[in-house]
Amino acid sequence: MREKAAWIPMASRRILSRHLLRKAPVNAIQIIREEHRGLAAVLHGMLYLVRQIRERGIAPDNDVFGAMIYYVDAFPERLHHPKEDLYLFRPLRLRHPEAGPLLDRLEAEHHAGAERIRTLEQAYARYTQGGDREFDAFAAAVNDYVNFYREHMRQEETEVLPLAERYLTPDDWAVVDAAFAGHTMPLFGAEQDAQFKELFHRIVRLAPPPIGLGSAAVPKGPATPSKS
Protein backbone atom coordinates (compact mmCIF):
# COMPACT_ATOMS: atom_id res chain seq x y z
CA MET A 1 0.00 0.00 0.00
CA ARG A 2 1.22 3.47 -0.81
CA GLU A 3 2.21 5.74 2.06
CA LYS A 4 -0.09 8.65 2.81
CA ALA A 5 1.61 11.95 2.01
CA ALA A 6 4.35 11.25 4.55
CA TRP A 7 6.53 13.84 2.87
CA ILE A 8 4.51 16.77 4.27
CA PRO A 9 6.40 18.59 7.09
CA MET A 10 4.90 17.83 10.52
CA ALA A 11 4.58 21.51 11.37
CA SER A 12 2.27 22.02 8.42
CA ARG A 13 -0.05 19.09 8.93
CA ARG A 14 -2.43 20.59 11.49
CA ILE A 15 -2.97 23.79 9.48
CA LEU A 16 -3.32 21.73 6.35
CA SER A 17 -5.89 19.32 7.70
CA ARG A 18 -8.02 22.26 8.93
CA HIS A 19 -7.79 23.76 5.47
CA LEU A 20 -8.69 20.50 3.75
CA LEU A 21 -11.78 20.18 5.89
CA ARG A 22 -13.21 23.54 4.99
CA LYS A 23 -11.94 24.53 1.55
CA ALA A 24 -12.54 23.14 -1.88
CA PRO A 25 -9.29 21.83 -3.41
CA VAL A 26 -7.40 24.20 -5.65
CA ASN A 27 -5.60 22.85 -8.66
CA ALA A 28 -1.84 23.17 -8.14
CA ILE A 29 -1.07 22.51 -11.79
CA GLN A 30 -3.25 25.40 -12.82
CA ILE A 31 -1.54 27.66 -10.27
CA ILE A 32 1.92 26.62 -11.48
CA ARG A 33 0.97 27.34 -15.08
CA GLU A 34 -0.52 30.72 -14.10
CA GLU A 35 2.60 31.65 -12.14
CA HIS A 36 4.73 30.63 -15.12
CA ARG A 37 2.57 32.77 -17.40
CA GLY A 38 3.09 35.79 -15.13
CA LEU A 39 6.86 35.23 -15.12
CA ALA A 40 6.87 34.67 -18.90
CA ALA A 41 5.01 37.97 -19.41
CA VAL A 42 7.63 39.87 -17.43
CA LEU A 43 10.48 38.10 -19.29
CA HIS A 44 8.81 39.03 -22.56
CA GLY A 45 8.58 42.63 -21.31
CA MET A 46 12.32 42.67 -20.59
CA LEU A 47 13.13 41.48 -24.12
CA TYR A 48 10.75 44.08 -25.52
CA LEU A 49 12.45 46.91 -23.65
CA VAL A 50 15.87 45.74 -24.85
CA ARG A 51 14.57 45.65 -28.43
CA GLN A 52 13.23 49.19 -28.01
CA ILE A 53 16.73 50.34 -27.07
CA ARG A 54 18.34 48.49 -29.97
CA GLU A 55 15.87 49.45 -32.68
CA ARG A 56 14.54 52.83 -31.57
CA GLY A 57 17.11 54.19 -29.14
CA ILE A 58 14.56 54.33 -26.35
CA ALA A 59 16.15 54.09 -22.93
CA PRO A 60 14.23 51.90 -20.47
CA ASP A 61 12.41 53.51 -17.58
CA ASN A 62 14.39 52.65 -14.46
CA ASP A 63 11.21 52.10 -12.46
CA VAL A 64 9.86 49.63 -14.99
CA PHE A 65 13.03 47.66 -15.56
CA GLY A 66 13.89 47.71 -11.84
CA ALA A 67 10.42 46.38 -10.96
CA MET A 68 10.77 43.65 -13.60
CA ILE A 69 14.13 42.52 -12.22
CA TYR A 70 12.76 42.57 -8.69
CA TYR A 71 9.73 40.51 -9.74
CA VAL A 72 11.67 37.77 -11.56
CA ASP A 73 14.08 37.65 -8.63
CA ALA A 74 11.83 37.79 -5.58
CA PHE A 75 8.66 36.04 -6.70
CA PRO A 76 10.29 32.72 -7.71
CA GLU A 77 12.75 32.79 -4.84
CA ARG A 78 10.20 33.50 -2.11
CA LEU A 79 7.10 31.77 -3.37
CA HIS A 80 7.31 29.76 -6.54
CA HIS A 81 10.53 27.74 -6.16
CA PRO A 82 10.08 26.78 -2.48
CA LYS A 83 6.60 25.47 -3.25
CA GLU A 84 7.91 23.46 -6.20
CA ASP A 85 10.84 22.03 -4.21
CA LEU A 86 8.86 21.11 -1.14
CA TYR A 87 5.41 20.27 -2.39
CA LEU A 88 5.85 19.04 -5.94
CA PHE A 89 9.38 17.71 -6.43
CA ARG A 90 9.55 16.05 -3.03
CA PRO A 91 6.50 13.80 -3.37
CA LEU A 92 7.40 13.08 -6.99
CA ARG A 93 10.85 11.86 -5.87
CA LEU A 94 9.11 9.44 -3.50
CA ARG A 95 6.51 8.20 -5.97
CA HIS A 96 8.81 8.06 -8.99
CA PRO A 97 12.52 7.90 -8.03
CA GLU A 98 13.51 7.75 -11.71
CA ALA A 99 12.67 11.47 -11.89
CA GLY A 100 15.54 12.17 -9.45
CA PRO A 101 18.14 13.41 -11.97
CA LEU A 102 15.63 15.73 -13.66
CA LEU A 103 14.46 17.13 -10.31
CA ASP A 104 18.06 17.50 -9.08
CA ARG A 105 18.84 19.60 -12.13
CA LEU A 106 15.74 21.80 -11.75
CA GLU A 107 16.35 22.30 -8.04
CA ALA A 108 19.95 23.27 -8.77
CA GLU A 109 18.58 25.82 -11.25
CA HIS A 110 16.34 27.25 -8.53
CA HIS A 111 19.42 27.87 -6.42
CA ALA A 112 21.43 29.21 -9.37
CA GLY A 113 18.67 31.68 -10.25
CA ALA A 114 19.74 34.23 -7.63
CA GLU A 115 23.28 34.30 -9.02
CA ARG A 116 21.97 34.76 -12.56
CA ILE A 117 19.83 37.67 -11.39
CA ARG A 118 22.88 39.34 -9.81
CA THR A 119 24.64 39.06 -13.19
CA LEU A 120 21.65 40.68 -14.87
CA GLU A 121 21.46 43.47 -12.26
CA GLN A 122 25.14 44.21 -12.64
CA ALA A 123 24.87 44.31 -16.45
CA TYR A 124 21.93 46.72 -16.14
CA ALA A 125 23.79 48.94 -13.66
CA ARG A 126 26.81 49.06 -15.99
CA TYR A 127 24.56 49.96 -18.91
CA THR A 128 22.76 52.77 -17.07
CA GLN A 129 26.13 54.21 -16.04
CA GLY A 130 28.18 53.44 -19.13
CA GLY A 131 25.62 53.88 -21.91
CA ASP A 132 26.13 52.54 -25.43
CA ARG A 133 29.40 50.74 -24.85
CA GLU A 134 27.70 48.52 -22.24
CA PHE A 135 24.55 47.82 -24.26
CA ASP A 136 25.65 44.58 -25.94
CA ALA A 137 26.68 43.01 -22.63
CA PHE A 138 23.42 44.13 -21.05
CA ALA A 139 21.32 42.76 -23.95
CA ALA A 140 23.25 39.47 -23.80
CA ALA A 141 22.63 39.21 -20.05
CA VAL A 142 18.89 39.73 -20.56
CA ASN A 143 18.83 37.14 -23.37
CA ASP A 144 20.75 34.61 -21.28
CA TYR A 145 18.44 35.04 -18.33
CA VAL A 146 15.25 34.85 -20.40
CA ASN A 147 16.43 31.74 -22.27
CA PHE A 148 17.50 30.08 -19.04
CA TYR A 149 14.21 30.73 -17.32
CA ARG A 150 12.00 29.86 -20.27
CA GLU A 151 13.79 26.52 -20.66
CA HIS A 152 13.42 25.87 -16.92
CA MET A 153 9.66 26.45 -17.06
CA ARG A 154 9.36 24.42 -20.27
CA GLN A 155 10.94 21.38 -18.60
CA GLU A 156 8.66 21.73 -15.60
CA GLU A 157 5.55 21.94 -17.75
CA THR A 158 6.44 19.28 -20.32
CA GLU A 159 8.33 16.81 -18.10
CA VAL A 160 7.62 17.32 -14.39
CA LEU A 161 3.89 18.04 -14.49
CA PRO A 162 3.03 15.01 -16.67
CA LEU A 163 5.06 12.78 -14.33
CA ALA A 164 3.32 14.29 -11.31
CA GLU A 165 -0.08 13.72 -12.90
CA ARG A 166 0.86 10.13 -13.52
CA TYR A 167 2.51 9.16 -10.24
CA LEU A 168 1.12 11.32 -7.40
CA THR A 169 -1.81 9.86 -5.49
CA PRO A 170 -5.11 11.66 -4.76
CA ASP A 171 -3.89 12.14 -1.15
CA ASP A 172 -0.70 13.69 -2.46
CA TRP A 173 -2.69 16.04 -4.68
CA ALA A 174 -4.87 17.18 -1.79
CA VAL A 175 -1.70 18.31 0.00
CA VAL A 176 -0.01 19.74 -3.09
CA ASP A 177 -3.12 21.67 -4.10
CA ALA A 178 -3.54 23.16 -0.62
CA ALA A 179 0.14 24.13 -0.46
CA PHE A 180 0.06 25.88 -3.82
CA ALA A 181 -3.09 27.71 -2.81
CA GLY A 182 -1.05 29.15 0.07
CA HIS A 183 -2.86 27.56 2.99
CA THR A 184 -0.13 25.35 4.40
CA MET A 185 2.60 27.70 5.52
CA PRO A 186 2.51 31.42 6.33
CA LEU A 187 5.51 31.81 4.01
CA PHE A 188 3.34 30.92 1.08
CA GLY A 189 0.26 32.73 2.33
CA ALA A 190 -2.21 35.00 0.67
CA GLU A 191 -0.49 38.17 1.90
CA GLN A 192 2.76 37.41 0.06
CA ASP A 193 0.80 36.35 -2.97
CA ALA A 194 -1.17 39.61 -2.92
CA GLN A 195 2.04 41.65 -2.66
CA PHE A 196 3.46 40.01 -5.76
CA LYS A 197 0.20 40.39 -7.64
CA GLU A 198 0.28 44.10 -6.81
CA LEU A 199 3.88 44.31 -8.03
CA PHE A 200 2.90 42.55 -11.25
CA HIS A 201 0.05 45.02 -11.78
CA ARG A 202 2.43 47.89 -11.08
CA ILE A 203 4.72 46.64 -13.85
CA VAL A 204 1.73 46.46 -16.18
CA ARG A 205 0.67 49.99 -15.22
CA LEU A 206 4.16 51.41 -15.69
CA ALA A 207 5.35 49.53 -18.76
CA PRO A 208 4.80 51.23 -22.11
CA PRO A 209 2.37 49.77 -24.64
CA PRO A 210 2.08 47.20 -26.09
CA ILE A 211 3.47 45.32 -23.07
CA GLY A 212 1.76 47.50 -20.47
CA LEU A 213 -0.58 50.40 -19.89
CA GLY A 214 2.00 53.14 -19.17
CA SER A 215 2.54 56.18 -21.34
CA ALA A 216 4.15 55.48 -24.70
CA ALA A 217 7.90 55.95 -24.55
CA VAL A 218 9.43 58.70 -26.61
CA PRO A 219 12.90 58.40 -28.13
CA LYS A 220 15.31 60.39 -26.04
CA GLY A 221 18.16 62.63 -27.03
CA PRO A 222 21.75 61.58 -27.63
CA ALA A 223 22.68 62.03 -23.95
CA THR A 224 20.48 59.06 -22.99
CA PRO A 225 21.99 55.60 -23.08
CA SER A 226 21.09 54.12 -26.44
CA LYS A 227 22.38 51.58 -28.90
CA SER A 228 24.03 53.09 -31.93
Binding-site ranges for Fe ion (CB under 5 A)? 84, 156
> Which among 109, 101, 121 has a CA at the least distance from the CA of 151?
109
What is the closest distance, in whole angstroms, from the C-beta atom of residue 153 to Fe ion in the complex? Answer: 5
Contacts of 192 (CB under 8 A, 6+ apart): 78, 79, 182
> Which among 33, 31, 38 has a CA at the least distance from the CA of 196?
38
Q: Is the separation of the CB atoms in 179 and 185 below 8 Å?
A: yes
d(CA 217, CA 64): 12
What is the closest distance, in whole angstroms, from the C-beta atom of residue 133 to Fe ion in the complex? Answer: 35
Contacts of 77 (CB under 8 A, 6+ apart): 113, 114
Smaller CB distance to Fe ion: residue 3 or 151?
Answer: 151
Q: Is the separation of the CB atoms in 79 and 86 below 8 Å?
A: no
Length of the chain in terms of residues written: 228
What is the closest distance, in whole angstroms, from the C-beta atom of residue 212 to Fe ion in the complex? Answer: 23
DSSP-derived secondary structure letter, 183: -
What is the closest distance, in whole angstroms, from the C-beta atom of residue 189 to Fe ion in the complex? Answer: 19
Smaller CB distance to Fe ion: residue 84 or 172?
Answer: 84
Smaller CB distance to Fe ion: residue 105 or 220?
Answer: 105
Alpha helices in the chain (DSSP H): 10-22, 28-56, 62-75, 81-83, 90-95, 100-130, 135-155, 161-167, 170-180, 190-206
What is the closest distance, in whole angstroms, from the C-beta atom of residue 201 to Fe ion in the complex? Answer: 21
What is the closest distance, in whole angstroms, from the C-beta atom of residue 147 to Fe ion in the complex? Answer: 15
Smaller CB distance to Fe ion: residue 64 or 179?
Answer: 179
